[in-house]
Structure 1
Amino acid sequence: MGVIELQELIATLFSRKYALLTRSGSFALITAINASNAPKGSSVIMPASCCPIVLFAIQMAGYNVILADISLSSLSMEVSDIEEVFDDTVSVIVAVHGYGHYCKIDEIVEFAKSNNVGLIEDACLAYGGSYQGKALGCFGDFSIVSFGYDKPIDNLYGGAILMNKECDYNNAKVFLSDNSMAQFNDMEQLAKLKNRFSGFIEEIQIRKNNVAYLQENIRNPLFTKANYDDEVIYWRYPLLIKNRACFLAKAKEEGIVFTKHYKSLGELQTHGYYPNAAVVDEQIINLFVRPETPKKQLIDMVMFINDYQDE
């Protein structure tokens, strides 16, 4: 299977007409913004709680970033958050499915259409999941996915841009042909990525089972569990806990690993404050749910959380 065949497979998996491989998810985003023909120097709205690389990629592409707060129920930016910051400088919205939980992407699609702005769906943490029966990665003018570390397909290299319009596809091809740094050009990695896709459905089901186990068995009322349904495929399972520092210190003593992504991107602004993003910044912990996560690790995390008492 060569590049063209793998791109066709990826497009089919995400119910798209076209897919193009890129060096990374970041370069997929940079390619999508440029392919959208958004005026250079215009503004791009993105959530204040997500991987900071999204912000840096937008800036590298030559655009101004406008941050919007998130919903604590979806951990994603929703239409009401976009409306709070939308102005006539905005040319593109980047809708990120936070932590793998879908945003209400159909509502954001309608908002973007009614305001005549482009929409890029960032499904880098969420692909394999769905929304209203449709695969995440099939919404918006463009979608982007990543095959980097700890993504649903963890290949440590590569990304892809997905679209339906031939003009967008041609624009993206032109950008990639003119920018060698953005190109997927490692044939050894191509073979590895092809193999990862061969087990994609099985790995997603394992991830889903791991999430379901945590959702069912974590019962400590000190922790706020994430919203969950059968369409959600979490990147890392998120919990909110007050006095997080105390919890993490005790976990470290027991040799149990949790992470705490993501910090509020409002901290990068002089006058930026986003209340819900700040709550996530201060309280979130993440539990690994990737297919390689041993069942014993899941059990140990659940037992430690359920036994935890704040002092």
Structure 2
Amino acid sequence: MGLDELEKELAGYFVRNHAILTRSGSFAIITALKCAGLEQGSKVVMPASCCPIVLFSIQMAGYSVVLADVSLSTLSMEVEQIESVMDDDISAILAVHGYGHFCAIDEITDYAKRKGVILIEDACLAYGGKFKGRPIGSFGDFSVISFGYDKPISQNYGGALMTNCQTFADKARDFLDDNKMAQFSELIQITHVLEGLKKLDKLTAIRKSNIAFVEQTVSNEKFKRLKYNPEITYWRYPLFIENRERFLNAAKQQNILFTSHYRSLGLLQTQGFYPNAEEIGNKIVNLFVQPATPKTQLTNMVRFINDYR
């Protein structure tokens, strides 16, 4: 199988007219921005609670970042937060499904259309899941996914840009032809990505099962959680606790691994106030729930949480 065949399979899975492979999810974002017809240097809105690579990708493409706070209910930037920072210089919205929890991408889509701005759906942590019956990764003028470390298809390499617009697709291919660094060039990965795509629904079901296990068995009231929805496919399951460092140090002493992603991107700025992103960044604890997580690891994480005092 070659690149063309894999791109057709990706387009079919995500119900898109076009899928274009890139070297990474970051390069997929850069390619989308460069091909969207935006004025160079114009503003792009993105969430303040997010992987910083997303911010750097916007800057590398030559655009100005405008951070918006996120909702504590979804860990994602919603229309309310976008509206609070919107101005006439903003040319694009980059909507991220925070921690794999879907944002109200349908509402953001309608909002972007009303405002006449480009919408890029960053589905890198959430694809494999669905939102209102549609695949996550099927919304926006563009959608982007990654096959990097710990992604739903985890191959440590590669990404893809998807669109329904022929003009955008043509411009994306022209851009990639002129920028070899952004190209998906590891042909050995084609088979691996295809195998991951064929298994994605099964792997997503396992992820949901792991999430349900954590949801049903964590009982320590020191830890707060979001409202449970069986359709959410978390990248890493989020819990929230006061004095997080004390908890993480105690877990480290027992050789039990948790993570604490992400710090508010507002810390990279000299101005701007994003209280929800700040709260998430100070209190979040992430549990591994990917399909490859052994049941013993899940059990040990939950047991340690429930015993923590």
Length-normalised TM-score, structure 2: 0.98
The answer to whether the 8 A contact 1:238-1:285 is kept is yes
Q: Is the 8 A contact 2:208 2:231 kept in 1?
A: no
Q: Deviations over 1:209-245 (max 9, x none)?
A: 1111111111111111123312211100011111101
SS of match in other structure, 2:281: helix
Match in the other structure for 1:151: 151
Q: How far has the Cα of 1:146 moved from its partner?
A: 0.3
State the alpha-carbon separation in 1 of the partners of residues 145 and 37 from structure 2.
20
Aligned to 1:30: 30
C-alpha contact (below 8 Å) 1:40/1:62 kept by paired residues: yes
Q: Verify the 8 A CA contact 2:148 2:156 in the aligned structure 1.
A: yes
**Mapped partners of 1:220, 1:16: distance in 2:** 43
Deviations 1:141-181 (A, max 9, x none): 00000000000000100000011011111111111111111
Deviations 1:96-134 (A, max 9, x none): 000000000111111100010000000000001111111
Write the distance in 1 (CA, Å) between the matches of 2:199 and 2:162.
21
**Residues 217 and 302 in structure 2, CA contact (< 8 A), matched pair in contact too:** yes
Post-superposition CA distance 1:66-86 (Å, at most 9, x none): 000000110000000001111
Letter in 1 for 2:145: V
Does residue 206 of structure 2 align to residue 171 of structure 1?
no
Q: Secondary structure at the match of 1:223?
A: coil
Alignment of 1:105-184 (within 5 A): 105-184=105-184
Residue type of the alignment partner of 2:27: F
Quote the residue 2:6 is aligned against.
6
Inter-partner Cα distance in structure 1 for 2:191 and 2:113: 39
2:95 aligned counterpart, secondary structure: strand
Name the amino acid aligned to 1:240: F
Q: Distance in 2 between matches of 1:115 and 1:255?
A: 50
Aligned residue number for residue 208 of structure 2: 208
How far off is 1:292 after superposition?
1.1
Q: What corresponds to 1:231 in structure 2?
A: 231
1:243-266 residue CA offsets vs partner (Å, 9 max, x unmatched): 101111111111110000001000
Q: How does 1:184-263 map to 2 (within 5 A)?
A: 184-263=184-263
Identity of aligned residues (%): 55
- Opposite residue 198 of structure 2, the aligned amino acid is S
Gaps of 5+ in 1: none
Q: Secondary structure at the match of 1:80?
A: helix
Q: Match of 2:276, SS?
A: helix
Cα distance in 1 for residues equivalent to 2:193 and 2:95: 25
Aligned to 1:58, what secondary structure does the other structure show?
A: helix
Specify the SS of the correspondent of 2:224: strand
The aligned residue for residue 286 of structure 1 is 286
CA deviation after TM superposition for structure 1 residue 23, in Å: 0.3
Q: Distance in 2 between matches of 1:289 and 1:213?
A: 9
Amino acid at match of 1:138: S
Runs of 4+ in 1 over 6 A off after TM superposition: none
Cα distance between partner residues in 2 of 1:219 and 1:79: 33
Contact 1:129 1:232 (8 Å CA) reproduced: yes
2:67 alignment partner, SS class: strand
Matches of 1:3 and 1:161, distance apart in 2: 13
Distance 1:129 1:195 in 2: 17
Distance 2:297 2:191 in 1: 31
Distance of 2:168 and 2:240 partners within structure 1: 40
Q: How does 1:57-68 map to 2 (within 5 A)?
A: 57-68=57-68
TM-score (normalised: structure 1): 0.98
Which residue does 1:104 correspond to in 2? 104
- Is contact 1:47–1:67 with CA below 8 Å preserved after alignment? yes
Pairing 1:56–2:75 present: no
The whole-number CA distance in structure 2 between the counterparts of 1:231 and 1:170 is 34
